[in-house]
Chain A
């Protein structure tokens, strides 16, 4: 069964802290994605990776960076958290073949105070 896990379901951090969100998939997928979800805005793509050590900016990369050292793991880093980064963060993975459907983790609700 397809599985994407995220390191935390809920996280509370202070303004200015460095924040790491981790995502692991067990499907040997090449592609991995980080989105943020805000009410009324749907899902917005932050970064994605199509291979180990490869990454591309999505629609809203400002204030974020990513790391992919191993195929199964994709990390999202908030270098200096700000209150406007309070959101739900969703990780997904997909294969570059067939229907390209993405499989999602349960999400991390991050609150920055």
Chain B
């Protein structure tokens, strides 16, 4: 079945760009998602990208999809301390697209 992998930890300085990476195994995944989880809270949908797109930009967030390599990335420009959180990558499948497979999450720490 589908497997989604992320690195566990990323530390950046305030004002720098952050890039969080994710790989997935099922090339037929229709949608790929990025969620943010702040301490003690549920997951908040940040953005998602359809599999026929290469890039999606939304204010400070840029999502890049390399379908050939099954690689997804989330770039946060001008990272702020409020961006410190756990970021989850998730993928859907074509036969049961409403089920999502989540990665284990990347903890982003933004240093002042």
Complex Cα gap A45–B101 (Å)? 9
Which residues of chain A are within 8 angstroms of B100 by Cβ–Cβ distance? Answer: 100, 102
Q: Give, as a whole number of angstroms, the nearest-CB distance from B107 to chain A.
A: 10
Q: How many of A's residues come within 8 Å of B, CB to CB?
A: 24
Does the CB pair B104–A41 fall under 8 Å? Answer: yes
For the complex, give the distance between the alpha carbons of A100 and B43 in Å. 15
Interface size on B, residues (CB 8 A): 24
Q: Which residues of A contact B35 (CB under 8 A)?
A: 104
Which one, B4, B31, B88, contacts A100 given CB within 8 A?
A: B31
B24 within 8 A of A: no
Cβ < 8 Å to A, chain B residues 19-66: 30-31, 33, 35, 40-45, 48, 50
Quick one: given A99-B48, A101-B48, are A42 and B102 in contact (CB under 8 Å)? yes
Given contacts A42-B88, A104-B44, 5 further A-B contacts (CB under 8 A): A42-B4, A42-B104, A43-B102, A48-B99, A107-B40
**Partner-A contacts on B (CB < 8 A):** 4, 8, 30-31, 33, 35, 40-45, 48, 50, 88, 92, 97-100, 102-105
